[in-house]
Structure 1
Amino acid sequence: MFIRKMAGSLHLLACAIVGGLVSAGHARPPNFVIVFADDFGFDLECFGSPTTRTVNINRMAAEGMKLTQWNTAHSICSPSRAAILTGRYAIRSGIFGNESTIQPHTGDHRVVHPSCYGHLPLDEVTIAEALKPANYTSMAIGKWHLGYAYENTTLLPVGHGFDYFYGTPVTHCEGPPSYPAVPVFQNHEKVGRIGVDIVREDLVYRYADQATQFISNNANNSFFLYLAMDNTHSPVYSPANFTSLRGPYGAATEALDWVVGQVMDTLTKMNLAQDTLVVFTSDNGAWYTPPPTQAGVVGPFQGTYAPQELGYVDTGKGSSWEGGFRVPAVAWWPGTIAAGTVCENFTSSLDLFVTFLNLAGAPLPTGVALDGKDISGILDPSGIHARLPHMPASKFENSGNYTFFYYRGPVLMAARSGALKAHFITHSGFGHEVPVTHDPPLLFNVEVDPQERLPLEPARYHAFISEITAAVEHHQSTVKPVTPQLDLIDYKAMDCVGLSEKQSGCCMQLAGKCTY
């Protein structure tokens, strides 16, 4: 493991050294908070952004840990959300579509749209459900994006192990003119619609209020809070009092940072900070399609080899290049994570499921193939909070390295083990070009060449190619066929309940164009 102090030159090869000053004697397992940003790039001051003020996330990093090789499990919204909550690639849960996932982009088959009646299967075990045996109370706030049709609220978080929910079933922008106005739910009850009786910009305050109330109300309980913000999905939004040199995107980023500050301040006020692990990250990399005022940057992860194939750059969200998967991550746990540390180990959003359960002392679900590894040795190096022995990184290891797989829908595009990444198929995030197959695979050392600019000579890496190919074959042998949930499209399945007769009639048309 490789962890270093940000404010010095001390390099520590053993995580246990970092936590040497942590005090013991925690009466209960830690609380968990995930702040999940949307389409967020490397637009944080603590990751080098010169124009966006993120004072609260800076504080998280200064008092906690930056994870500089953190990857999201998928490079687009719905599959990524399924993966972080289940610890499983979305190929296992069916949050993908066979149609249009590797062909020219139509959008309808890569995420859950209002016209999709597919959903995260109810037998999938989420973090919230898995923590129940350890007596955790849980709440999901914000964007769900894992299923909702008609009045079937069992598909919302309250049907997946969460005790409480406040938020939207789909992305905030998936309303008129193409779809009905996006509903907002409190648990099972619809409490309004964006643009009808709820002001979109006010969601920032609503989500912050819900989060702080939940924390305050559960000060004496072990809890899990999943705070999935809309920020910074295009079109970005923020209350009028947030402004930035970076324009609307910067303002949305600073609103997101303010919400993070509200969570941290509430935990501190309630004397819960030392008992709570907070992780900030993003569902996928920044999106190249919107204009610069509406989208983030992918930092150094440009995928600069790609334009040689494409003639243009689209190597962020939606792609299997580093810019689609490599996202910022910060972990804050005062008294356990040493202040100002940087973890340069490979980590991913898949890891949180197993890690949280280990720290909570909750059993792993039986008969479920999990894809993440336990990183509690990184986040809790002294083992103070460990309730179970550390779990193995993977049942199949490549030369001692964990193997990570890059999917686009049902197609395995690439795999990484250690510093080396092998692209078997490449494609832009949202382009219309024909995918390029690479045999032998296109190789990069993404630790020294995160831009994926300098392909390695395959002839010099026969052993690695054999190992990574074997890892892919083994992984694929564990994937059972499931229904592609995102291919379940029917405009008649859209939520038109509660709209006027004219509006409902419009929405029930197969064209799905609502102009109100």
Structure 2
Amino acid sequence: MLAFLLTLFQSVEPAPKAPRPPNIVHVLADDVAWDDFSCYGSRDLVTPNVDRVASEGLRFTDFYAPSATCTPSRAAILTGCYAQRVGLTQVLFPTSEVGLADSEVTIAELLKGRGYATALVGKWHLGHQPQFLPTRHGFDLFFGIPYPNDHGPERLTSKEPRVSRGFPPIPLLRGESVVEQPAQLASLPERFIAEARKFIAEHKDAPFYLQLSNIETHTPWLVPQRFQYKSQAGVYGDAVACLDWAVGELLDELAKQGLDGDTLVVVSSDNGPLVHRYPELEGIYGHAATVDPERRHWLRDGKYQARYEGGTRVACVARWPGHIAPGGVSGELVAGFDLYTTFARLAGAELPADRIVDGNDLSALLLGRPEDFNPRDTLFHYENLELVAVRNGNWKLVLPRKTGERPELYDLEEDPSETTDQSEEHEDFVARLLELCELAREDLGDSKHGVEGRNRRAAGRLVK
């Protein structure tokens, strides 16, 4: 009888543990061009750590930032929606009295509901008053600056006499408390990485979500001394080298904690690069904000405009050892707000059912099941509330700036640099894309046409 009982107990194996949802680390680069990483064909920059993420995972060739400027792009990434839908369509300043609305459900809130620890380290830029800060939108930890590193008291008005805009010294916040003002900007890249590594180490035993939003690739390009004058692309190149180092530090910490196979790492950019000179910035920050207009990029134009590819088409690479096959390349049409839906899906979180979410689920692409992927065929591009372009498949229609001008049509598969307008040869495609524009106007509005849009939500307003 005893032998029988021993055999019985030995045959009962413990129930298998439920698979742990992945940790998610999103490195959101600031103002970095599609081709500023060597894995995207950079002519003058070497980025071994970003390249490693690409070679050990998946590289997207047709990934779009949701906007050509910071605030709208970040609002879209965190909410899974076009920025026009959530009411944050312009860059916010230290004098702004709006921010991300309390009613929006961020990816941090969704993941927190699934037991994730959540952190944002670096730049926020979705409202600087306490009611708008990351800690009010699902982040357990915030260590960073509430708006860009060039929004300090040195900035000048645009009209004569040119005087200070009255911005306060840039604060460094921990949670909702100012711990340093003015923030010592050149020291922040290293301090942000130390904070990020600490967060990873302290939460290695449970799932976590970390957004590292760097600042050094945004003007002024201030970096620790060890990165100065080391690149072949001037001061901006030094900043990209610093960013690449930061990616390597995160990969090192994940390996140190034994979390490689448990962690999805995504590196993307919030918009394209500066490609024109800005005298005010040069006058204030000198070489740390002097854009080299002779530096060539593969894509046309850059930040602040969304008509052409250089403003919104950016790099995106993803790595998750054991889950994402190494060395993959995807040419699917994807956007920054797709990360919201994808992260939620991988974490087992339900999307909000009471609102439109624009993000597409990329998990099938990441996990090597393209047959299960539901591709997007259309993406709209806005500047503030004006619809300026639409991409459908490989065709891109650029809407005219002035009444009476013709729209421009480009085949992005053959002509990603948008050098040859084919609107006269393909009037049928122009007509089809113009019909799609009408759908966007009905949904999201278009200030140029005086259309409000049926499905827009308001930004949050400061409660005084």
Q: TM-score by structure 2 length? A: 0.83
Match of 1:167, SS state, is strand
Residue of structure 2 in register with 1:154 after alignment:
131
Amino acid at match of 2:221: V
Question: What is the DSSP-based 3-state SS (H/G/I as helix, E as strand, rest coil) of the residue aligned with 2:361?
Answer: coil
Is 1:75–1:320's contact at 8 Å kept on the other side of the alignment? no
Query: What's the secondary structure of 1:328's corresponding residue?
Result: strand
Counterpart of 2:441 in structure 1 is 476
Q: Determine which of 171, 192, 195 is the counterpart of 1:183.
A: 171
Count of residue correspondences? 413
Structure 2 gap segments, 5+ residues each: 1-15, 155-163, 279-286, 445-454
Residues 463-493 of structure 1: CA distance to partner in whole angstroms, max 9, x if unpaired? x3444333333333333355577xx89xxx9
SS at match of 1:241: helix
1:142 aligns with 2:122: yes
Aligned partner of 1:171 in structure 2 is 148
Is the counterpart of residue 410 in structure 1 residue 403 in structure 2? Answer: no
AA paired with 1:39? D
- Partner residue in 2 for 1:37: 29
Q: Distance in 2 between matches of 1:438 and 1:267?
A: 56
**In 2: Cα distance, 1:138 partner to 1:406 partner:** 30
Could you report, residue by residue, the CA deviation over 1:121-164 in whole angstroms, capped at 9, with x for unpaired residues?
11111110122332111111111011013xxx131000011111
Instruction: Give the structure 1 partner of residue 111 of structure 2.
Output: 131
What SS does the corresponding residue of 2:118 show, helix, strand or coil? strand
State the 1:245 CA deviation.
2.4
The answer (yes or no) to whether the contact 1:288–1:317 under 8 Å persists in 2 is: no
CA shift for structure 1 position 168: 0.6
Return the match for 2:74 from 55, 70, 81: 81
* C-alpha spacing 1:168/1:390, structure 2 compared with 1 (3 Å): farther
Question: Structure 1 counterpart of 2:22, which letter?
Answer: P
CA distance in 2, matches of 1:219, 1:438: 59
Deviation per residue, 1:60-105 (Å, 9 max, x gap): 1121121111110100010001011111111111112xxxxxxxxx
Partners of 1:345 and 1:391 lie apart in 2 by: 10
| 1:293 to 1:58, Cα distance in 2 relative to 1, 3 A | farther
**Structure 1 position 340 matched with structure 2 position 319:** no
In the other structure, the counterpart of 2:248 is 261
Q: Measure how far apart 1:317 and its partner are.
A: 3.7
Q: Distance in 2 between matches of 1:474 and 1:298?
A: 36
- Is 1:53 the equivalent of 2:46? yes
Q: Which position in structure 1 is the counterpart of 2:3?
A: none
Aligned 8 A contact 1:285 1:298 in 2: no
Compute the TM-score of the two structures, normalised by the length of structure 1.
Answer: 0.75
Q: 1:364 Cα shift? A: 0.7
**Are the aligned partners of 1:444 and 1:454 in contact in 2 as well (CA < 8 Å)?**
yes
Counterpart check, 1:113 vs 2:93 = yes
User: Any conservation in 2 of the 1:376–1:390 contact (CA below 8 Å)?
Assistant: no
What is the letter of the counterpart of residue 120 of structure 2? A
Look at both structures and tell me which one has the larger radius of gyration over its CA atoms: 2
Distance 1:420 1:298, change over 3 A: farther
Following the alignment from structure 1 to structure 2, what is the Cα–Cα distance between the partners of residues 335 and 483?
42
178, 200, 225: which one pairs with 2:210?
A: 225
* Structure 2 SS opposite 1:191: strand
Deviation at 1:333, TM superposition (A): 1.1
Cα pair distance change 1:476/1:213, threshold 3 Å: same
Equivalent position to 1:436, from 388, 399, 402: 402
1:318 Cα offset (Å):
2.9
C-alpha deviation, 1:263, in angstroms? 0.6
The 2-side partners of 1:227 and 1:421 are apart by: 32
Displacement of 1:350: 1.3
Gap change, CA 1:258 and 1:406, over 3 Å in 2 = same
Residue in structure 2 matched with residue 320 of structure 1 by the alignment: 307
1:283 to 270, 281, 296: 270
Whether the 8 Å contact between 1:317 and 1:323 is mirrored in structure 2 is no
**Counterpart position of 2:9:** none
Contact 2:141 2:175 in 1 (8 A): yes
Does the CA contact (< 8 Å) of 2:273 and 2:302 recur in 1?
no
How far 1:220 sits from its partner (Å)? Answer: 1.1
Assess if the C-alpha contact under 8 Å between 1:95 and 1:120 holds in 2: yes
Quote the Cα distance in structure 1 between the aligned partners of 2:275 and 2:140. Answer: 36
Per the TM alignment, residue 33 of structure 1 is displaced from its structure 2 partner at its CA by: 1.2
Contact 1:67 1:345 in 2 (8 A): yes
Q: For residues 30 and 454 of structure 1, do their structure 2 counterparts lie closer, same or farther at Cα, with a shift above 3 Å needed?
A: same
Query: How many angstroms apart in 2 are the aligned matches of 1:472 and 1:53?
Result: 39
Conserved? CA contact 2:94–2:147, under 8 Å: yes
Computed over aligned residues only, the root mean square deviation of the Cα atoms, in angstroms, reads 2.5
Instruction: Determine if the alignment matches structure 1 residue 359 to structure 2 residue 346.
Output: yes
CA offsets 1:449-469 (integer angstroms, 9 cap, x no match): 11111111346342x344433
Paired residue type of 1:143 = K
Q: Is the 8 A contact 1:374 1:390 kept in 2?
A: no
Following the alignment from structure 1 to structure 2, what is the Cα–Cα distance between the partners of residues 405 and 266? 38
Cα pair 1:358 1:390 within 8 Å, conserved = no
Distance 2:60 2:277 in 1: 27
Summarize deviations over 1:399-418 as a string: whole Å, max 9, x none.
xx521000000111111110
Distance 1:293 1:45, change over 3 A: farther
- Residues 166 and 437 (structure 1 numbering): CA distance in 2 closer, same or farther, change over 3 Å? farther
Residue 208 of structure 1 and its aligned partner are, at CA, apart by 0.1
Match of 2:414 in 1: 448
Q: Does the residue aligned with 1:232 lie in a helix, a strand or coil?
A: coil
CA separation of 1:436 and 1:293: change in aligned 2, threshold 3 A? farther
The amino acid across from 2:174 in the alignment is Q
Whole-angstrom distance in 2 between the partners of 1:88 and 1:298: 32
Q: Distance in 1 between matches of 2:405 and 2:353?
A: 38
Partner residue, 2:60: 67
Identity value in percent = 36
Amino acid at match of 2:57: G
Counterpart secondary structure, 2:252: helix
Runs of 4+ in 1 over 6 A off after TM superposition: none
The one-letter amino acid of 1:324's match is: G
> Which residue is 1:234 aligned to?
219
| Residues 212, 484 of structure 1: alpha-carbon distance in 2 compared, 3 angstrom cutoff | closer
